[in-house]
Amino acid sequence: MDLLSHTLMGSLVASIGLQKKYGAVASATMIAANLLPDIDGTAMALGPKYFFLYHRHPLTHSLGGAFVLSAALTAVVSLATSFKRPGLVFLISFIGVVLHLLSDLLTPWPIPILWPFSARTYSFDLINFLDPFLLALLVGSFSSVRHWPARGLLFGILTIAIALGYLGFRLYGQGTALNIVRERSSSQEITTLPHGLSLTNWDVITREQQGYALYIVDALRRDMQGPQIFHSVSDERIPIIAGKSDLVQAFLKRARFPLVRTTEMGTLTTIEWLDVHLITSGGAINGVKVTINDQGEIVEEKFIFNSRR
C-alpha cells in the first residue's frame, strides 16, 4: 500500500482514543509504526538492485520483524521523550506495524508474513499499491474524526465496515474473473491481479507451455479481452548468465511471472529477463537486460525502465 494510505491509517487509529487518552506521543508512535516497515524502501537510494533485494524484507515485513521493529521504536520513544510506559509503547508499535503488514498483504507484491517460521511469501492480490477507493475512504474518515472528535469511535467502526464491504466486493470480482478465464483456458496455473486503478477490471495471467497469456476481465460486465501472449525462449546460456549477474539475481528474487527474450546482433547476444505483471501494470522497471559476447562474457547489464513513465 502507498505511504499516504499507511499514514492516514495510523492517523485515523490514533485519533480514535489514543490522542485523548495517552497524548501526542502515543499518537505519533502509532503513525510512525504504520510507516516503519517501509524503511526498507530507502534501499532505492542505492539503486534498483538494492530495492529488489531489500524492499519487503523479512526483517521489516513479517510478524517476526514486527517484534524487532516494535522493540526498536519503543527504545527510540523511551529515550527521546518523557513518555515512560515502554509496555504500552511496544503494544501501540506492534499494532501499527501489523496494520501495515495486513494492508500490504492485500497487494500484488508478496511478503514473508510468517518469517522466521517460514520464508514463503504471501499476497491476496485484492487491491493495487494505491487504491483510489480506500484512499478516499481514509481521507474522508480522518477528516470527519478531526472535525467531530467526539464521534471518533463511530467513524472508526463505519470505516472498518465500509472497508470490509469493499474488500468483499473485490474478492467477489476476483473470483468472477478467475472463473471466466477458467472456462476458456486449460492452464492449471492462473493468477488474478488488480488491473491498474480500475474497480472492476482484473488482469488474469495464465502459465502456458512457452510463456504466459494475459486476459483483461471486467468482472462486473463479465467481459473478457485477450489473450495477449508473452513468449519465453529456452537457451542453455540463460541460467549460466543469470548466475553471473547480480542484477538478474536481484530481479528474479521478486519476479512472479518471469520470461526471457534474446536478440542476436553480430557477435553480441542480448538477453532480457522480464516480468509480465511489471510490464502490464506500468511499473517503473520491467526487467533486466544483459549483453554477452561470443565467449559468453557479460559486456553490459542494466535494468529496463518503463519508457511510458
Residue-wise pLDDT for 83-130, tens only, equals 989 999 999 999 999 999 999 999 999 999 999 999 999 999 999 999
Contact 230, 211 (CB under 8 A): yes
Domain ranges of the chain: 3-124, 187-230, 232-305
Question: What CA–CA distance (Å, rounded) separates 115 from 267?
Answer: 46
What is the per-residue pLDDT for 89? 96
pLDDT tens-digit readout, 185-231? 999 999 999 998 899 999 999 999 889 999 999 999 999 998 999 99
Cα dihedral 13, 124, 288, 294, rounded to 10, equals 150
**What is the per-residue pLDDT across 73-90, written as a single tens digit (0 to 9) for each?**
999 999 999 898 999 999
Distance CA 8, CA 11 (A): 5
Packing angle between helix 132-147 and helix 3-13, nearest 10 degrees? 30
Confidence of residue 274 (pLDDT cuts 50, 70, 90): very high
Instruction: Summarize the chain as % helix, strand, coil (round to 5).
Output: 50, 20, 25
Query: Looking at the predicted structure, is the pLDDT value of residue 307 above 80?
Result: no
- What does the pLDDT read at residue 98? 97
Residue 203, strand partner residues: 193, 216
Per-residue pLDDT band for 17 (boundaries 50, 70, 90) equals confident
Q: What is the DSSP string of 246-282?
A: HHHHHHHHH-SSEEEEEEEETTEEEEEEEEHHHHHHT
Give the whole-angstrom CA distance, residue 263 versus residue 237: 13
Is 70:86 a contact under the CB 8 Å cutoff?
no
